[in-house]
Structure 1
Amino acid sequence: MYYDVIFHFDQDAEKLSVALSNVRNYIKALHAESFTIVLVVNGPGIKMMGKTDSQAEQLTELASLGLSVRVCQNALHHFHLKPEWLNPVCQIVPAGIIEIVDLQRKAFTYIKP
């Protein structure tokens, strides 16, 4: 089977909790499989990606289990956030929407928690 997946997050802290729970459950359920799991963050969701935010520790733990966190440069600019403010597990991409399109073209499954 092919299990590469994109989780798309662009909302508030409550929705981030749901998204991270989905990610954790996905990783746990497929522990014996090989897959790539990506969390793409854009829009207001970017405000939850700071290194001292409430769910920063959980995000870091999931990254250690294989989660790739990709955040939108456009959202950083829009909300006047500096790259050094971000959780270190975050990778900045030029545009979150383009990242999603590119991954879908590579047959990643899209999930919007």
Structure 2
Amino acid sequence: MKLTKLIYALAVVMMMVVPSSANDNDEDDVVNIVYQCDFADPKRIHLMLNTMNNVVKHYNKNMIQYDLNLVALGPCLQYVMKDFKGTGFVKKPYQDHGGPSGNGTAGRISSLKQTAGDSLTIYACGNTMEKKNVKPEQILDFVELTPAGIIKAIDLQRDGYAYIKIK
């Protein structure tokens, strides 16, 4: 009888311990990725967007949690802007037209954000904004500002994020 009570007590303790440790592992199972974009070439941008789209599709399909980040700095800042007036950037035709879907880079970025939702964070570099006279209201509404894009990329990498840069 004592052995049965002991086994029962151990079973109850195990049931209490296993779920809490399983929840701890859920956060560790999040795939963390940071893309650094510091180039203007539309072919490279489309390649980057293709790979990001593949990431989103794969993890969504397999129900795997992910935290995907894009840090736009230097000439790449133009791709996360909605207004170019008075800035050091000029809106290019490829931002609204072309690419695999035909709706340009702006449409692809908006579509990617819509598909990924809160699993995608896009950052705009404050240093580039200051240098190119870009005001916060000229940046796409879903883009977050960071004081220094390169520091954001470094900090995410130091936090264990996989670092991706399209060459």
TM-score (ref. length: structure 1): 0.90
Taking structure 1 as reference, are residues 14 and 82 closer, same or farther at Cα in structure 2, changes over 3 Å only? farther
Q: Is the 8 A contact 1:46 1:72 kept in 2?
A: yes
What residue is the counterpart of 2:159 in the other structure?
A: 106
Amino acid at match of 2:82: K
- Aligned with 1:8: secondary structure? strand
TM-aligned CA deviation for residue 91 of structure 1? 0.6
Which whole-Å CA distance do the structure 2 matches of 1:50 and 1:14 have between them? 18
Q: Which whole-Å CA distance do the structure 2 matches of 1:83 and 1:16 have between them?
A: 22
Counterpart in the other structure of 2:138: 85
Cα displacement (A) at 1:14: 2.6
Pair 1:21 & 2:50 matched: yes
Code of the residue aligned with 1:48 in structure 2: it is Y
Q: Percent identity?
A: 26
User: 1:2: how far off?
Assistant: 5.0
Task: Identify the structure with the greater helix proportion.
Answer: 2
How many residues were matched structurally? Answer: 113
- Structure 2 match to 1:62: 112
Compute the RMSD of aligned alpha carbons: 1.5
Q: Identify unmatched segments of 5+ residues in structure 1.
A: none
- How far apart in 2 are the matches of 1:14 and 1:76? 23
Structure-1 separation of matches of 2:149 and 2:30: 23
Which residue of the partner structure matches residue 59 of structure 2? 30
Deviation at 1:51, TM superposition (A): 2.1
Q: Is the 8 A contact 1:56 1:87 kept in 2?
A: no
Stretches of structure 2 that go unaligned for 5 or more consecutive residues are 1-28, 84-94, 97-104
Amino acid at match of 1:105: R
Report the Cα distance in structure 1 between the residues aligned to 2:50 and 2:77, rounded to whole angstroms.
Answer: 18
Residue 77 (structure 1) shift: 1.1
TM-score (norm 2): 0.63
Residue type at the aligned position of 1:15: R
Larger radius of gyration: 2
